[in-house]
Homo-oligomer: A and B are copies of this chain.
């Protein structure tokens, strides 16, 4: 017997509009290695917004539908339509991660072991009342951990651990992080403090500097300060950071980080080299908070690289053993190192209100929404 429930859907139509709605969906009976989960909590991550609101013009959103079944509609600029050609006229479910209670399980031992347990899960389609998925996409939470506590047990925790792991694998000894006062940034700060890794936190506001310093961060630099370039160079010199993870993507921040890394490297050189230092400098762009072009003023020699970084390719690269090791650590430390904080809890229907969208759509540091699908 199938189970029925609500699911958020995002649809790009060929009349250049985006429509976000609630669908009544029949969730399947789990196969042998699957479980059916009653979703209790799912965070709205920045990585969800690309699929949820796509390239729609935020200023054009309008409310439709009913209170129980709201619909949000917005216009998509004509030039942006080619970016979403691949999803045209497909009603897509949304939501990278969540947590809930296993209410039905397939016949395998692995599936049966999860029956009745509270679990974290990853794999999309989480902004819904139910989710049927493979046991490998589940993380059994420890006794005493609630679904709300475990809702963000994949994306941010594994991203923070993945950054530190990438740093080690690629031969760097300290790292730089931008938008560092975010939920993820605070988590990375806790991981680095726990693991004895030096971290240079880059923020934009004095309040954000304060948040991180109160959390024990040793190096916090403010990109709005006049002294930003010399502050960042000094912090890079002190830590030896030669790899950075940039959440913003656009503008000149990535270039500034490479320049400061080069300035720190050159200050240690004995002999002039017209090609710059031979210290290899890496910036990974893992987000797109600033959608404007990335502008590189190449005054940092030839030993540098800038590229994209995403969690799932990283996990594939490190392999299943390493991933299970990282996940086990997250489960153990979910209430401490990997604790998330939410500023609002909303139902599925409330997620489709102009008021809520206006806040979570901005991806402002400090604002974090948790969807409670059973409310």
Task: Report the minimum CB–CB distance from A221 to chain B (whole Å).
Answer: 21
Interchain CB contact under 8 A, B50 and A274: yes
Task: For A305, list chain B residues within 8 Å (CB).
Answer: 305-308
Pick the residue among B271, B274, B313 that contacts A278 (CB under 8 A).
Answer: B313
Given contacts A87-B272, A274-B51, contact A298 B306 (CB under 8 A): no
The segment from A287-295, A321-329, A352-360 that touches chain B is A287-295
A288-B278 in contact (CB<8A): no
Question: Is there contact, CB below 8 Å, between A299 and B83?
Answer: yes
Which residues of the other chain, B, contact A302 by a CB distance below 8 angstroms? 285-286, 308-310, 313
Q: Is A319 an interface residue (CB 8 A)?
A: no
Copies of this chain assembled into the complex: 2
**Residue of B at shortest CB range from A295?**
B293
Which residues of A in the span 225-278 have a Cβ within 8 Å of any Cβ on B? Answer: 249-250, 255, 266, 269, 271-275, 278
Question: Is A303 in contact with chain B by the CB < 8 A criterion?
Answer: yes
Contact yes or no, A297 B293, CB < 8 A: yes
Q: What distance in Å separates the Cβ of A147 from its nearest Cβ neighbour in chain B?
A: 26
Q: How far is the CB of A247 from chain B (nearest CB, A)?
A: 13
Q: Are B298 and A294 neighbours in the complex by a CB distance under 8 Å?
A: yes
Residue of B nearest to A52 (CB): B274
CB atoms of A306 and B307 under 8 A apart? yes
**Complex Cα spacing A278 to B308, Å:** 11
A313 touches B303 (CB 8 A): yes
Q: How far is it, in angstroms, between the C-alpha of A306 and the C-alpha of B296 when the chains are bound?
A: 11
CB closest residue in chain B, given A308: B302
**Bound CA–CA A287/B86 (angstroms):** 36
Which of B51, B90, B249, B269 contacts A86, CB < 8 Å? B269
B249, B285, B298: the one within 8 Å of A293 (CB): B298
A27 at the binding interface (Cβ < 8 Å): no
**Which of A286, A302, A305 is packed against the most chain B CB atoms within 10 Å?**
A302
Give, as a whole number of angstroms, the nearest-CB distance from A237 to chain B. Answer: 16
Check if A70 is an interface residue, CB within 8 A of chain B: no
Residues of B within 8 A of A285 (CB): 298, 302
Top-5 shortest CB links A-B: A302-B308, A305-B307, A86-B272, A294-B296, A87-B272
| Chain A interface residues (CB < 8 Å from chain B) | 50-51, 54, 83, 86-87, 90, 249-250, 255, 266, 269, 271-275, 278, 285-286, 288, 293-299, 301-310, 313
